[in-house]
Structure 1
Amino acid sequence: MSRAPYAADPATTRGREFEQHFHGTRGPRSAFQRDRDRIIHSIAFRRLAGKTQVFVAPDGDHYRVRLTHSLEVAQIGRVIARELGLDEDLTEALCLSHDLGHPPFGHPGEEALDESLIQRGGFDHNEHALRTVMRVENPYCDARGLNLTWETLEGLAKHNGPVTQPGWALAELDAAFPLELTRWPSLEAQVAALADDIAYDNHDIDDGLRAGYLELDQLLELDFIADLWRSVEQRFPHATRDQQLRELVRTQIGVMVNDLLATTRENLKGITSIAQVRGAGCALASFSPDMARRERRLKTFMYANLYHHDAQLRTAQGARSVIAKLYAAYDQDPSLMTPGWCETLPDAEPERARHIADFIAGMTDHYAMTQYSDIFGERPEGLRNV
């Protein structure tokens, strides 16, 4: 499909924070293809294989982690981008990198870091994703960070919409390389955000059912899920229950994607440039009002029955304790950090505290538990919930 007039164009990128010369040795790739590849080859991306999605350090091989979730988001995002004539490489780069800022143990780990930095500006995983690709990861001889294009950084900063009150991390980065925070981002960024919603709304159901935290009868209390389930049973009456459940998840994803495509195409009538997208004053990639209501109901259901399940809350409490104790230990004795991190610890605050948080945020679940064991002489308890 040809590029739509409202799509981001790598040929007209606003460039990178630091100028780099490739000397023709890195292959015939567009600027956005380079961004995607830099993300895939980064250490932060590899570490997503060991970071919590829903379940902490799961014993089973079939549960999702941040890495597999990000790959699934990218698959959905690419499909939508292709159908709308958007730049698939930029969309994929944003989908793959949107969770790079997550610390170990997911949201409980984030809450503990935020509390530890409460006097130093706090911690936000979305802003830390940008900090990771712009300042923390430094593989290049001639640039800081991954040195991604302006369009990719803009999408990371604003994939959930304009930012009117940035936290300290985003404010610092925006001051160094202005990202027009109060304007709407590209359609590629808007699509990446919705692909994330579609992926975790449905795949978390799959994992919740697998773990036994959710029951089919609970799901069928949602009328739109019940309707889809009846259609699955009618189409595949002889399939196993496991196959039918997986078909239910696939069908729901397809329904949400088709609704997004139809609604977004309608919203884009009369839009002929990316400048109009950024100046539209609202998101142009969206669900229909009916689908948006369904999606909100589904999220409410998932919080009540999965994310706030008693076993999940107990695990979250243990995870917060591990991160809080690690931060306190490194703050009291920085030599406990690995040499590269200890040697570069700033003397002044708030830079010192934020450096420690950068170190912890990069950890996998397993590494955080190992560090805890090494420091406190005991294995943290209660951190395996499936």
Structure 2
Amino acid sequence: LVHSKPFRRLKGKTQVFIDPQGDHYRTRMTHTLETTAISRVVARALRLNEDLVEAIGLGHDTGHTPFGHAGEQALDAALSAEFGRRFRHNEQSSRIARRLNLTHEVCDGILTHTGDQEPETLEGKIVRLIDRVAYINHDIDDAIRYGILRESDLPRDEIELLGATGTDRIDRLVHDVVDASEQAGTIEQSPEIGEAMLSLRAFMFEHVYLGPQVGPEHERARNVVQAIFVQLVDDPELLPPGDGDTPERITDYISGMTDRFALSYVRGS
């Protein structure tokens, strides 16, 4: 995984903000490394397979589009309208894992890190949960840096319970997962902490992920993905060599783009 091109391109795919001006915003790469590192800590504490957790964590977002979830939604809408197909980044990540000849357990954990299907392994369940722990906390940090949020905007009850800083919150959440999972024999959170994290996640969706300030960013992402998609449908000769039919090759090409490559592709067309 770490030697593959899809993994290396994660450094050029941002989380929430499109190609932001600044060196400290999270990218898919830094999110992946944070998720993987925290997941390994949980796996070690629970005496589970750390290597399996690491492989799932490193591969879980390799199929993600440029521009975060706005790019994913745009590609999904374009594929659905033109070819009657859907796009989900976890499915694309799993396709990449299978091409790399990774084990069934790794591919399953990558496929099920999001969505309705539950992972087959406890290690997969760890990554599924810790993925949310990681992105909620680092996206708060990025939203404050970007100016969308202030510390005082964060919901008081949840912050008092989980911690005032990202480090404190991750520490509290990780200890809770380990303690609750040891008692339950599966991977879970205590009800109180789990509800607080879900509440904080809902707050982030309302004020950051779907908030009015990121509306122009999402519109920009949709326009860029749609423009590239239309160009490739009209002229498939522009596609690089690859396996599969035209829709699959378009999916592979667009989902593999970094933010800057996608933006430059549109400007250069």
Which range, TM-score by smaller chain?
Answer: over 0.9
Checking the alignment, whether the CA contact within 8 Å between 1:162 and 1:184 is kept in structure 2 is no
Checking the alignment, whether the CA contact within 8 Å between 2:90 and 2:112 is kept in structure 1 is no
Structure 2 partner of 1:46: 8
For residue 222 of structure 1, the aligned residue among 135, 156, 163 is 156
Query: In 2, Cα distance between the equivalents of 1:227 and 1:116?
Result: 42
* 1:146 is the counterpart of 2:100: yes
* 1:260 is the counterpart of 2:177: yes
Gaps of at least 5 residues in structure 2 are none
* 1:360 is the counterpart of 2:254: yes
Structure 2 partner of 1:290: 192
Query: In 2, Cα distance between the equivalents of 1:151 and 1:294?
Result: 30
Query: In 2, Cα distance between the equivalents of 1:66 and 1:289?
Result: 29
Paired residues, what number? 267
| Counterpart amino acid of residue 10 in structure 2 | L
| Counterpart amino acid of residue 87 in structure 2 | F
For residue 93 of structure 2, the aligned residue among 129, 138, 152 is 129
Structure 1 partner of 2:127: 192
Q: CA deviation at 1:160?
A: 4.1
Checking the alignment, whether the CA contact within 8 Å between 1:103 and 1:360 is kept in structure 2 is yes
Asked which structure has the greater CA Rg, the reply is 1
| Counterpart amino acid of residue 132 in structure 1 | I
Structure 2 partner of 1:36: none
Query: In 2, Cα distance between the equivalents of 1:319 and 1:161?
Result: 23
- Give 1:79-118 correspondences, 5 Å limit: 79-118=41-80
Checking the alignment, whether the CA contact within 8 Å between 2:158 and 2:197 is kept in structure 1 is no
Q: CA deviation at 1:354?
A: 2.1
| Counterpart amino acid of residue 218 in structure 2 | A
Could you say if the C-alpha distance between residues 45 and 345 of structure 1 is closer, same or farther in structure 2, counting changes exceeding 3 Å? closer
Checking the alignment, whether the CA contact within 8 Å between 1:117 and 1:354 is kept in structure 2 is no
Note the alpha carbon deviations across 1:27-79, whole angstroms, 9 max, x for none: xxxxxxxxxxxx11110000000002121111100110000010001110010
Structure 1 partner of 2:37: 75
CA RMSD of aligned residues (A): 1.7
- The answer to which of 252-261 and 303-312 deviates more is 303-312
Could you say if the C-alpha distance between residues 365 and 93 of structure 1 is closer, same or farther in structure 2, counting changes exceeding 3 Å? same
Moved over 4 A (4+): none
Could you say if the C-alpha distance between residues 161 and 216 of structure 1 is closer, same or farther in structure 2, counting changes exceeding 3 Å? closer
- Give 1:227-266 correspondences, 5 Å limit: 248-266=165-183
Checking the alignment, whether the CA contact within 8 Å between 2:94 and 2:108 is kept in structure 1 is no
Query: In 2, Cα distance between the equivalents of 1:292 and 1:149?
Result: 31
Could you say if the C-alpha distance between residues 208 and 228 of structure 1 is closer, same or farther in structure 2, counting changes exceeding 3 Å? same
Checking the alignment, whether the CA contact within 8 Å between 1:90 and 1:152 is kept in structure 2 is yes
TM-score of the aligned structures, taking structure 2 as reference length: 0.94
Q: CA deviation at 1:86?
A: 0.6
Checking the alignment, whether the CA contact within 8 Å between 1:259 and 1:287 is kept in structure 2 is yes
Checking the alignment, whether the CA contact within 8 Å between 1:109 and 1:320 is kept in structure 2 is yes
Q: CA deviation at 1:357?
A: 1.5
Q: CA deviation at 1:227?
A: 5.4
Could you say if the C-alpha distance between residues 328 and 345 of structure 1 is closer, same or farther in structure 2, counting changes exceeding 3 Å? farther
Query: In 2, Cα distance between the equivalents of 1:316 and 1:162?
Result: 25
Gaps of at least 5 residues in structure 1 are 1-38, 135-144, 164-182, 233-247, 269-283, 376-386
Q: CA deviation at 1:120?
A: 3.0
